[in-house]
């Protein structure tokens, strides 16, 4: 995928917490930022969530809470258009998470899920082994990836990730193989609850279905 300067670029993610009231906004016109609303601390009020390019190789994620501002920085590449952060609710726990683009590939976006913890500030949601949870979207003609949120009758919400790639093309119809993984997210940890592998299914198969809007929130 081409960046602002017509180059193939990628964005890497490795957050460093800064409990300081603000990343400097003194950027040139070539730098971008996006601001959305989310209730990241669960107090029932909308908080400003800003993703900002602060240099050619650094992005900042900023949560504007009542009475304070917290932020974290991570490696980025300002030559690529800045992806808008996505306010989400992956567990119905009363506070919102924010999905941030970690890597921009030719056809696929790689995401990291961030949330707010009163003790540590902005943190990455991790898997049980401590690694950052990765979500994917896209894939082009040779793959198909995405994520969804599914609610059951008890009011529990699971986060579902699908990753697949084309493994055969009978009659010029692409068939996909991959896996569908479900997680319960609690206190910044995504615990795997189910993993299903599938082989040679069409793109329209229900096991391939994803809907990021099912995780989305609207805060005014």
Q: Which domain holds residue 61?
A: 16-215
| Tokens 């991959």 belong to residue | 178
Q: Per-residue confidence at 58, pLDDT binned at 50, 70, 90?
A: confident
Q: What pLDDT score was predicted for residue 77?
A: 76
Asked if residue 10 belongs to a domain, the reply is no
Residues 177-219: tens digit of each pLDDT: 999 999 999 999 999 999 999 999 999 999 999 999 999 998 8
Asked if residue 192 belongs to a domain, the reply is yes
Residues near 149 by beta carbon (within 8 Å), at least 6 away in sequence: 88, 89, 90, 157, 158, 159, 160, 214, 215
Q: Is the pLDDT of residue 13 over 50?
A: no
Counted domains in the chain? 1
Q: What pLDDT score was predicted for residue 14?
A: 40
160 C-beta neighbours (distance < 10 Å), count: 23
Q: What span, in angstroms and rounded, lies between the C-alpha atoms of 184 and 204? A: 26
Asked if residue 7 belongs to a domain, the reply is no
Q: What is the mean pLDDT of the chain?
A: 87
Burial of 173 (0-12, 13-18, 19+ CB in 10 A): exposed
> Six-digit token pair at 78?
């300002």
Asked if residue 5 belongs to a domain, the reply is no
Residues 150-184: tens digit of each pLDDT: 999 999 999 999 999 999 999 999 999 999 999 99
Asked if residue 9 belongs to a domain, the reply is no
Q: Per-residue confidence at 37, pLDDT binned at 50, 70, 90?
A: very high
């Amino acid at each position: 995928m081409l960046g602002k300067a017509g180059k193939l670029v990628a964005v890497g993610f490795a957050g460093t917490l800064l409990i300081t009231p603000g990343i400097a906004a003194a950027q040139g016109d070539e730098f971008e930022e996006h601001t959305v609303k989310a209730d990241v601390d669960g107090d029932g009020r909308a908080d400003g969530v800003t993703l900002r390019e602060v240099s050619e190789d650094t992005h900042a994620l900023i949560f504007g809470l009542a009475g304070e501002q917290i932020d974290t920085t991570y490696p980025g590449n300002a030559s690529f258009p800045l992806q808008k952060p996505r306010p989400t609710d992956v567990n119905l726990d009363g506070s919102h998470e924010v999905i941030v683009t970690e890597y921009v590939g030719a056809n696929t976006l790689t995401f990291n899920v961030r949330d707010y913890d009163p003790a540590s500030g902005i943190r990455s949601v991790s898997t049980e082994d401590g690694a950052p949870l990765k979500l994917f979207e896209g894939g082009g003609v040779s793959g198909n990836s995405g994520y969804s949120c599914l609610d059951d009758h008890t009011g529990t919400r699971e986060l579902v990730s699908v990753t697949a790639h084309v493994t055969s093309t009978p009659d010029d119809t692409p068939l996909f193989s991959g896996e569908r993984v479900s997680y319960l997210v609690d206190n910044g940890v995504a615990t795997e609850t189910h993993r299903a592998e599938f082989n040679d299914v069409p793109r329209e198969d229900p096991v391939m279905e994803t809907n990021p809007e099912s995780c989305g929130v609207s805060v005014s």
